Amino acid sequence: MALLLEGRGLAASIRARVASEAAALGGRPPGLAVILVGDDPASESYVAGKRKACEKAGFVSSVSRFFDSVGPEVLLAEIARLNADPSIDGILCQLPLPGHIPLDAVARAVLPSKDVDGFHPQNVGSLWRGERGIVPCTPAGIMRLLDANGIDPSGRRAVVVGRSGIVGKPVAALLLAANATVTIAHSKTRDLASVCREAYILVTAAGIPGLIGADFVAPGAVVIDVGITRTAGGLAGDVDFESVEPLCSAITPVPGGVGPLTIALLLENTLACRKLAAG
């Protein structure tokens, strides 16, 4: 039976440590500002989860809400206001944004020192150059989960399915920095199954329930399922868990695998920005 890589316990311990470090800092608490556009129920629930986690950790948080029809200039003005607000350490724009909002302009508008999602080109560059910077929360959480379970990517083949700026590319950069030999697969990849079968560590972030079946997984592989899709039957990952689990040495459940770590690492990034602000 595969080792179940559960994220909840690890996330709780990270959150507890962050809360006690934040309390020990003295002065004002760390502050996180979330920008939420539209009324997508999934985004609403993610934002509610982030606010609750902030509250539990003794952070202050705010949500700036906008209608779907908001113009880019209004969002950019709000980001500029939050950049200048000394009580705010971290700024996060909940994705997805409506199509008429240029994601790149939003990513560039957030001060790199408040960019808790690690989207600013300066932080992206730091990640690929192996320099200090803010690392996107979900990829950072994946690396913690591997580390906490004694899974060392060094010298191993890793395959990442998905090339988004929020998961696929940054997790590939982190696996590379951890000395894995990394392949990034995506929607145009030919014969995805055979590419995935090369992986000792298979990270999948496509958002397609059941995409990864037993024929995609080599015996003994470690499977990290980042996908979260709301289906009639509840939350579903990319992996067909029933058929894949018996093949693996370790696998994340969905929910309860990578998800809880994303919020824990968001708090950690916000605390790091608070420390930066304190010099």
Is 52 or 186 the residue whose CB approaches ligand NAD more closely?
186
- In whole angstroms, the minimum distance from the beta carbon of 204 to ligand NAD comes to 8
Site membership for ligand NAD, residue 209 (CB under 6 A): no
Is 83 or 189 the residue whose CB approaches ligand NAD more closely?
189
- 137-176 binders of ligand NAD (CB under 6 A): 138, 161-164, 166-168
Site membership for ligand NAD, residue 185 (CB under 6 A): yes
At 166, is the secondary structure helix, strand, or coil? coil
Handedness of CA 156, 160, 163, 168 (dihedral sign): negative
Site membership for ligand NAD, residue 258 (CB under 6 A): yes
User: Which ranges in 26-136 belong to alpha helices (H)?
Assistant: 41-56, 72-84, 103-109, 121-129
Site membership for ligand NAD, residue 183 (CB under 6 A): no
Q: Which of 38, 49, 98, 207 binds ligand NAD (CB under 6 A)?
A: 207
Phi first, then psi, for residue 229 (nearest 5°) are -125, 135
The piece of 69-77, 180-188, 215-223, 269-277 that touches ligand NAD (CB under 6 A) is 180-188
Tell me the C-alpha distance between 125 and 103, whole Å. Answer: 17
* Residues taking part in catalysis: 50, 94, 117
Site membership for ligand NAD, residue 101 (CB under 6 A): no
Is 74 or 207 the residue whose CB approaches ligand NAD more closely?
207
Is 30 or 227 the residue whose CB approaches ligand NAD more closely?
227
Q: Which residue do the tokens 């595969």 mark?
A: 2
- 218-257 binders of ligand NAD (CB under 6 A): 226-229
- In whole angstroms, the minimum distance from the beta carbon of 259 to ligand NAD comes to 4
Token pair, residue 115, equals: 């960019």
Q: Which of 29, 31, 253, 259 binds ligand NAD (CB under 6 A)?
A: 259
Is 29 or 227 the residue whose CB approaches ligand NAD more closely?
227
78, 92 contact by CB (below 8 A): no
In sequence order, the β-bridge partners of residue 175 are none
Q: State the SS3 of 169-189.
A: HHHHHHHHHCCCEEEEECCCC
Residue ranges binding ligand NAD (CB under 6 A): 138, 161-164, 166-168, 185-187, 189, 192, 205-208, 211, 226-229, 258-259, 262
